[in-house]
Structure 1
């Protein structure tokens, strides 16, 4: 987490995508990050623990979509060093034949020593976006467990080290992940550089309305992981919701297109994950939802027992060693027994 876990984000994005099978055309917007770069809205997450060769294979699948005429102009994967596959990601980038400046690369932390190791594993000179994966710092002595919020290194100390990396030119932008309003309010007064993005679980069951408004007021872009509300193939959740399925059927599009378009129209970056080539193509084909259709999705979390996390359900009353209160997360949304 803050002291040791990192992530890379390969992102697929384009300015004009035409799918031969449907003639559907998408003009993808970009979000500007004030101090350096442009942040695409639609990304492919490749962050699963281990699975190095699997990531290499997934990169080949993604590249094959490009070569078969889907006209994606820029390729950009996503993963983390804590997932144990940075070396394969680096090899995949190098073997792809795509120029490095056409790939948007994100990795998650642990600051100086781990960052240099990440660069070596990725076989690259710089990273486009470097994220603090969690506010928690984990003890490096093998005993496990997280440092308490007031123990060093705090996430404020970690952030100051990240700002130094930005000054080195080896990182183009820096951000955070899984930060609540509570912890952002602790962090921001100490920031010379405001986080470019805050990557959080976000979907119609967990729309993060208050966090969204807060981040927008501070100029922080929200990035949505698990935007389809299905953190793993064994979790039949939002993507099979009857209301969402009915809406997709009415619009004659895929359920994923509805959910991703909802996220993007709320000004979030979305990072779906799939190994299916057809779904990859579908995931980068957004639609324009009407205000009426957006409201249908906006109201899903208001149904009984629907407003909840799908990724971080816990019966222990804590997330990676911190209590819900320390995380700044409402317990009723994350407690598996709530």
Structure 2
């Protein structure tokens, strides 16, 4: 695992990537931090040249657990500061999804996030997998809007109303699972006829088409890959989809296929 992470970070830095996304539940914060500390000088870069995101585990979604959880992540990564800290999920581990306790716990946690930000321990704070309802509750309870909401977003599953809400509240929507279920060995989205026709038209890869679709819809992306040639190609998007292409890809949303956990089930 160590060598794989190290090689991936090395390849990503060489290709021009500067944002690295990790989380407590991924159990790779330690590997990422080590790789960055060793590799930044190799590529002529400093800490300020990269942006590092990590996330609070659902097991630590409680006001009294945030400080220790953040300190552990901070120590694991071993850099001078964390750029972005996210609440990973609106529900707490071992709490029933429909329990009102989830709301109480995430508001408590968000208040602690605000303290971390005010104390200068993290440069930006946000959430992941939050619905409009979850976002509204946080804002109403604290008056502080998350800076980022990281959600599943791809042509098989996207939420224009959530994007509109985030835009109107100055919240940057950031996509994960941009390639659909590829991370769980499900190639359904990549093999859609519309996707295949579009990447053939642009002499691109399916991944490039899907990333371009998100970016042109105003959604930030964090493409995931361990394969060197895909890491390189994912950042080399030198075309723009036409409005007709975008509309055609939008029609895939009728499938409404979700590949990751569903926050709408969390009260």
What's the TM-score once normalised by structure 1's chain length? 0.70
Q: 1:326 corresponds to which residue?
A: 266
Match of 2:251 in 1: 299
1:311 to 242, 260, 263: 260
Equivalent residue, structure 2, for 1:212:
163
Gaps of 5+ in 1: 1-50, 139-143, 313-318, 328-338
The residue that corresponds to 1:48 in the other structure is none
Q: Which has the higher helix share?
A: 2
- Asked if 1:100 corresponds to 2:47, the answer is yes
- SS across alignment from 1:200: strand
Change (3 A) 1:202 1:216: same
Q: Secondary structure at the match of 2:80?
A: coil
Instruction: After TM superposition, list the pairs within 5 Å mapping 1:16-27 onto structure 2.
Output: none
Match of 1:39 in 2: none
- 2:20 is equivalent to residue 77 of structure 1: yes
Q: Are 2:74 and 1:124 aligned?
A: no
Task: Pick one of 97, 109, 128 that aligns with 1:158.
Answer: 109
Task: Return the TM-score normalized by structure 2.
Answer: 0.88
Instruction: Give structure 2 stretches of 5+ with no counterpart.
Output: 61-65
1:2-41 equivalent positions in 2, closer than 5 A? none
- Aligned-pair Cα RMSD in Å: 2.0
The answer on whether the counterparts of 2:88 and 2:129 sit within 8 Å (CA) in structure 1 is yes
* Separation in 2, partners of 1:192, 1:182: 15
**Pair 1:255-2:198 in alignment:** no
Q: How far off its partner does 1:276 sit? A: 1.6
- Residue correspondences, number: 253
Tell me whether 1:194 sits opposite 2:141 in the alignment. Answer: no
- Equivalent in the alignment of 2:68: 113
Shift of 1:54: 3.1
Secondary structure, counterpart of 2:151 in structure 1 = strand
1:58 counterpart = 2:8 = yes
Taking a change above 3 Å as real, the CA distance of residues 325 and 86 of structure 1, as seen in their structure-2 partners, is closer
Kindly tell me: are residues 76 and 326 of structure 1, through their superposed partners in 2, closer, same or farther at Cα, counting changes over 3 Å? closer
The answer for the alignment partner of 2:63 in structure 1 is none
Residue 146 of structure 1: how far off its partner (Å): 5.2
Which residue in 2 is equivalent to 1:267? 218
What secondary structure, in the 3-state scheme, does the structure 1 residue paired with 2:4 have? helix
Secondary structure in structure 2 of the residue aligned to 1:156: helix
Contact 2:90 2:102 in 1 (8 A): no
